Amino acid sequence: MDVQFATTPFGGRTISLDLLSAQHLARKSDIKDKKADKWQLYKALCEGRSHFNVSDRSLAVLSALLSFYPETVLNEESGLVVFPSNKQLSLRAHGMPDTTLRRHLAALISAGLIIRRDSPNGKRYAHKDKQGAVQEAFGFSLAPLLVRYDEIIQAADQVAQANLKLKRTRERITLQRRDIAKLIDVALTEQMSGDWTVLYAGFRAIVDALPRRATLNQLETILAALNALRTEVDKTLKLNENTKKMSGNDCQNERQHNESNTNYLFESEPALEKIETDFSANVEVQTKHPSLTLSLVLKACPEITDYAINGIENWRDLIITTAQLRRYLDISTSAYQDALDQLGQENTAIAIACILQRSNHIQSAGGYLRTLTNKARAGELSIPAMVMASLKTINKYKL
């Protein structure tokens, strides 16, 4: 039986030209051969809901309506009209209040996803034959879902592609942020030549401008700015590398000399008393040039090795590792730079390694490092004593 849809609703409800057009389209469209899994179609509609300007609550009501459709596959042969009462519909919509339910039904009708087919008295019911088959039903028609099947699938694909592009752009921004931050950090730590402070300020300006919920266009603009900054960072690093190659032999010999120095005062634990005396007598020398062997520092602060990517073979490895670690410990750039100026690179690295070893007992690593720096400035800090205290704690737990 060819059922014609009513063009006007019951009672005082008005009808717009858009609703008339939606009814006309559903009535004239050839959907006899069209079939679609109702839940797959609903999933696609949820993914592309922004295209149809419907809320998630409205879609929850649509899900409840679909649950009253007896078949899994939408097709014209089974009839496309569902006729639940508001009470039944509210129960399947997780107890949604009647006024809210009516509002979301109106939103679905306005979006052209369902059509209201009202009975003469406005009630929802169906006429059935003696065998129980539905001959005519009054309620909500799901025909627009079949009519707009291709549109719904296309909208879901477009949203999925846009979300994927957004995700990929965010990933590229994250990678650039990580690389630039670490490259600038190691450049400042190694005191490389170049306008690293200016580059860092530019980096922070770009990162701080990143909105919490950025659009794709905003993310692409920020990624372009980071790419340009990365080019400047790489160019400056390349200039440093060329300079290093020109004087490589002298620098390598100097580094080898530093690493092969065997005249450290702190070769074993029995020398602690002598070192304490020497350190108190000449604080400036002790704070600028460590009197400890690297092996003893690593023995007293074994946790630092867990953060070294390629292990710690020399003082330079320790310096680079702690320079990266200070971000994890939430040590500010100013506190770190102040420590470098007062203690020197090696002793600052030792201090951070000791702080890491006792991180469970230190509330603020940055504040603790500032305290150590101030003590060194006042001539009251003994780096060797810190290391020995940490070593004694390690040995105590081993026992």
Q: CA of 376: how far to CAs of 59, 82, 273, 288, 301, in Å?
A: 66, 81, 19, 10, 21
Residues 286 and 383 sit within 8 Å (Cβ to Cβ): yes
pLDDT classification of 293: cutoffs 50, 70, 90: confident
Instruction: Answer whether residue 189 is part of any domain.
Output: yes
16 versus 97: which is more confidently predicted?
Answer: 97
Share of the chain above pLDDT 70, in %: 75
Mean pLDDT on 247-272: 39
Burial class (CB in 10 A: 0-12, 13-18, 19+), 330: exposed
- More confident: 130 or 307: 307
Q: Is residue 200 part of a domain?
A: yes
Give the mean pLDDT of 267-279.
32
Q: Give the lowest-confidence range in 1-5, 117-121, 351-355.
A: 1-5
pTM for the structure as a whole: 0.48
Residues with Cβ < 8 Å from 138, sequence gap 6 or more? 81, 83, 117, 118, 119, 123, 124, 125, 126
If asked whether residues 140 and 199 sit together in one domain, one would say no
Are both 357 and 295 inside the same structural domain?
A: yes
Could you report the per-residue pLDDT of 295-315, keeping only the tens digit for each?
889 988 999 988 887 789 899
Residues 332 and 360 in one domain: yes
The last residue of a domain, from among 246, 279, 305: 246
Alpha-carbon distance of 306 to 73, in angstroms, equals 57
3-state SS of 49-117 is HHHHCCCHHHHHHHHHHHHCCCCCEECHHHCCEECCCHHHHHHHCCCCCHHHHHHHHHHHHHCCCCEEE
Task: Report, as an integer, the average pLDDT of 113-140.
Answer: 75
* pLDDT confidence of residue 173: 92
Is 264 part of any domain?
A: no
Given pLDDT bands bounded at 50, 70 and 90, which one contains residue 136? confident
CA distances from 382 to 197, 283, 288, 293, 343 (A): 31, 8, 12, 15, 11
Q: In the predicted model, is pLDDT for residue 246 greater than 80?
A: no
| Least-confidence region, from 33-37, 137-141, 274-278, 343-347 | 274-278
Residue 7 lies in a domain: no
Q: Is pLDDT at 245 greater than 70 in this prediction?
A: no
Q: What does the DSSP assignment read for 305-325? A: GGG-SS---SHHHHHHHHHHH
Average pLDDT over all residues of the chain:
78
- Proportion of the chain above pLDDT 90, given as a percent: 22
State the pLDDT at residue 373: 93
Same domain, 288 and 333: yes
pLDDT of residue 62: 92
Residues 79 and 116 in one domain: yes
123 is a domain residue: yes
91 and 29 part of one domain: yes
Domain C-terminal end among 178, 213, 246: 246
Q: Residue 115's domain is classified under what CATH number?
A: 1.10.10
My answer on whether 210 and 177 are in the same domain is yes
Same domain, 111 and 194: no
Identify whether 254 is part of a domain.
no
Task: Provide the pLDDT for residue 46.
Answer: 92
48 and 112 part of one domain: yes
Tally of structural domains, the chain = 3
Residues 142 and 205 both lie in one domain: no
* Cα–Cα nearest to 190, from 236, 225, 144: 236
Query: pLDDT band for position 243 (50/70/90)?
Result: low
Distance CA 120, CA 9 (A): 9
| pLDDT score, position 132 | 67
The residue among 194 and 340 whose pLDDT is bigger is 340
280 has pLDDT over 90: no
The CA distance from 140 to 42, in Å, is 16
Q: What is the pLDDT of residues 56-67, one digit of tens each?
A: 999 999 999 999
137 and 169 within one domain = no
Looking at residue 59, what is its pLDDT? 92
387 part of a folded domain: yes
Task: Tell me if 9 is assigned to some domain.
Answer: no
Domain that holds residue 362: 269-398
Lowest mean pLDDT among 137-141, 167-171, 243-247: 243-247
Poorest-pLDDT segment among 75-84, 98-107, 124-133, 134-143: 124-133
Mean pLDDT, rounded, for 286-303? 76
Q: DSSP letter at 194?
A: S
User: Does 169 share its domain with 129?
Assistant: no
Query: What is the rounded average pLDDT of the residues 17-30?
Result: 54
Tens-digit pLDDT profile for residues 377-391: 988 888 888 888 888
In this predicted structure, the answer to whether residue 274 has a pLDDT above a threshold of 50 is: no
Report the pLDDT value the prediction gives residue 40, as an integer from 0 to 100.
92
Residue-wise pLDDT for 163-180, tens only, equals 899 999 999 999 999 999
pLDDT digits (tens, 9 = 90+) for 69-88: 888 888 877 678 888 888 88
pLDDT band for 26, please (50, 70, 90 cuts): low
